[in-house]
Amino acid sequence: MPACAGAAASKPSETMNATVSFRIGIPGYLKAVAALGAVLLLGGCGGSSASNTSDVEKAILVRSPDSSQVTCERHGEYRGAKLYRCRMDVATSVREMRPESSCYTLEDGRLENVTRHVSC
């Protein structure tokens, strides 16, 4: 029975051979991990603070799950951040929805309603 199967080795050389063969493979794994890290870094998978319309719509739906439909469009800038004007149907009662327009900014994953500071 081989030493890697969990049984005690009958000779110390069997354990040493298993350890050596395992260590020989590690440099290959390290090179593969380094290459994968470089590809992810160069591919831009680290994330960014840039937002787009669909990100804002998703954030609004997370914040207001009662909204049935959200549509947003770019509406300028507010304090250096992209400003989005969003229209949504908001539940006012169990069977009634009313349309509402609001302005939002989305920076670093944080959604902020700035409707009272700007004219939408």
Q: 94: number of CA atoms within 13 Å, CB side?
A: 0
Across the range 43-51, mean pLDDT stands at 50
CB atoms within 10 A of CB 116: 9
13 φ, ψ to 5°?
A: -70, -30
Model confidence at 11: pLDDT above 70: no
pLDDT tens column, 30-42: 666 566 565 555 5
Mean pLDDT score across all residues of the chain: 73
CA 8 to CA 13: how far, in whole Å? Answer: 12
* pLDDT tens digits along 59-81: 888 888 877 788 999 988 898 89
Q: Is 33 left (phi over 0), alpha (psi -120 to 50) or beta?
A: alpha
Q: Residue 87: pLDDT above 80?
A: yes
Hey, what amino acid is at 22? F
